Structure 1
Amino acid sequence: MTLEDGRPATDQGPRPALRAARTRLGLVAVLLLLAALGWWWTAAQMRGMDAGPWTALGGFAWFVLLWVVMMAAMMFPSVAPTVALYARMTRGRTPLASTAFTAGYLLTWTAAGVVAWLLAQAVGGLAGGSLTWDAGGRVLAGAVIAFAGVYELTPLKDVCLGRCRSPLGFLLGSWRDGPAGGLRMGVLLGAWCLGCCWALMLALFALGVMSLVWMAFIAVLIAVEKTAPWRAVVTWGTAVLLVALGVLVLVAPGAVPGLTIPVTPAGMPGMPGM
């Protein structure tokens, strides 16, 4: 079968590639728009709630909803290339595959939020007032932030970051057909991402999980780690930055820009005075 100009039907010049590029750009634009809406909604919900390190998490349902929106805002920009590539690979074969893939990714982070809330409840109940800012809260915050920096240099971080930085390698190595397969692949990608970023998220709690400033700071670190060239330089730079920040919180918290120092008993649920 040939076209009117005599070319084979399969030889249509650059048009298929251009259509594919437009599809990928459109999907990336949608994810970035959702991220922007997530930032807007999160800012509206968290207005006036930044009580500094170990800010109260609130009720279970409210926190989980806020957490999911936060993760969409923070993670969609860096995960967009992988979702776009997956959409291109399943184009015309699996309807709603990209939606299932993205839902699976968020499902993993939703589970992480549930675990975070439960741990906060458990730790708060056991620690009582011993982790107030003036007692052990500042020491714990500084140590957690410094630990996040040390984790940057561990083999587990290296393996997880490698999966997150290689969209094609991840997709080819974990491919599953159909919407259910897309959901499973999204959950798996979320798990690799969680392994890469959980220490950074813990540092966010230590800096103030309801602070837009620190939320943006952690989001930028995540995006740079996953997309910027010179991986080793980025990893070591992030590690040094976090360790230095942790030390500064320990010795001179008032010198940390944007850090809200708790002055009243405010803390994690069940963690009075922290």
Structure 2
Amino acid sequence: MRGTLAVSRAVSRSAVAALGRGSPTSGWTMIVVALGATAWLAMLVLMGGMDQGPGTPLHELPVFLAGWIVMLTAMMLPSELTYVGAFGLLLKGRGRPAVERRRRVRSFIAGYFFAWVGYGLVAYLLDSAVRALNLEMTAWYRDGPYLAGAVLIGAGLYQVSPLKHACLKGCRSPLSFFARHWREGDAGAVGMGFRHGLVCVGCCWALMAVMFAVGAMSLTWMALLTVFMFAEKILLHGRKLTPLIAGFLWVMGIWIALSPTTAPLLKDPLIFGSICKGF
């Protein structure tokens, strides 16, 4: 309770007004935007042309983790502008020196990434388990399109679920989060980042699962999902976009299941495989 009251007193009226409009401090905005842009540039250079469509191999674990962190920086960090800005303002309001503020914000981001790296490890293990079973029914020429389509339809259903809306509300309410969960020190910042990261995973795990269904190296889908997550978290009326995103996922899921060769934004792994064999 004391921590909550202290944080509440630390926030000036101007900071509250800025955060109410979803406007983080300009310095942290530039840093986050720069990191996101650098990550996108890295993906364009390193991952361009690696998309083989659904079933694209995830490579060895160290390579996957390195690529996953770059992907997280590009896809998830832009939607964290409000939280990063809020944390910076709160630290400034509590009189913390600039060096300490930068260190605490880095610690918060690190904790956030820890939560998403955990998600990535779970996804990698599930993918490895399915590949180890070597089930023919999962092949693209068999039931692969139905499975990919089912993932997109399931992600759409999650978009309109109560848990999604609860987690999205948490992602859009930085002041409320910090008032309830404030912790001092670098370890406290990591803990807060991890806790917030878990809420963010709860909000976006289904959208990220779409990546594994349509092709983990698809830059087109990465960009599209980044826009979705940024819009629903940052825009003033972003919560109203969730059913529209769900509708898009349902249409694409049905299209992929019924006519995968004509589905837009999707590479046919059979065609890619035949081209590779030709070389």
TM-score normalised by structure 2 residue count: 0.84
Map residues 1-274 of structure 1 onto 2, 5 A cutoff. 24-91=25-92, 92-93=95-96, 95=100, 96-263=103-270
In the TM superposition, what whole-angstrom CA distance separates every residue of 1:160-204 from its partner, at most 9, and x where no partner exists?
111001111111121111111100000011110000001001111
Q: Distance in 1 between matches of 2:212 and 2:40?
A: 18
Q: Which has the larger radius of gyration?
A: 1
In the TM superposition, what whole-angstrom CA distance separates every residue of 1:107-166 from its partner, at most 9, and x where no partner exists?
111111111111111111124332110112111000000110000111111111110011
Q: Distance in 2 between matches of 1:263 and 1:235?
A: 33
**Amino acid of the residue matched to residue 247 of structure 1?**
I
SS in 2 for 1:51: coil
**Amino acid of the residue matched to residue 142 of structure 1?**
G
Root-mean-square deviation (CA), in Å?
2.1
Contact residue 84 and residue 105 of structure 2 kept, 8 A: yes
Q: Distance in 2 between matches of 1:265 and 1:132?
A: 14
**Amino acid of the residue matched to residue 96 of structure 2?**
R
Contact residue 132 and residue 265 of structure 1 kept, 8 A: no
Superposition deviation, residue 54 in structure 1: 2.3
Superposition deviation, residue 247 in structure 1: 0.6
Q: Which moved more, 1:196-205 or 1:127-136?
A: 127-136
- Structure 2 residue runs of 5 or longer lacking an equivalent are 1-13, 274-279
In the TM superposition, what whole-angstrom CA distance separates every residue of 1:201-228 from its partner, at most 9, and x where no partner exists?
1111111110110110111111111122
From the two aligned structures, give the one with the greater helix fraction. 2
Q: How many residues align?
A: 248
**Amino acid of the residue matched to residue 146 of structure 1?**
I
Distance 1:117 1:264, change over 3 A: farther
**Amino acid of the residue matched to residue 116 of structure 1?**
A
Contact residue 138 and residue 144 of structure 2 kept, 8 A: yes
Superposition deviation, residue 265 in structure 1: 8.8
Distance 1:81 1:126, change over 3 A: same
TM-score normalised by structure 1 residue count: 0.85
- Structure 1 residue runs of 5 or longer lacking an equivalent are 1-13, 267-274
Q: Which moved more, 1:84-93 or 1:97-106?
A: 84-93
Contact residue 77 and residue 223 of structure 1 kept, 8 A: yes
Q: Which moved more, 1:157-166 or 1:232-241?
A: 232-241
Q: Which moved more, 1:141-150 or 1:220-229?
A: 220-229
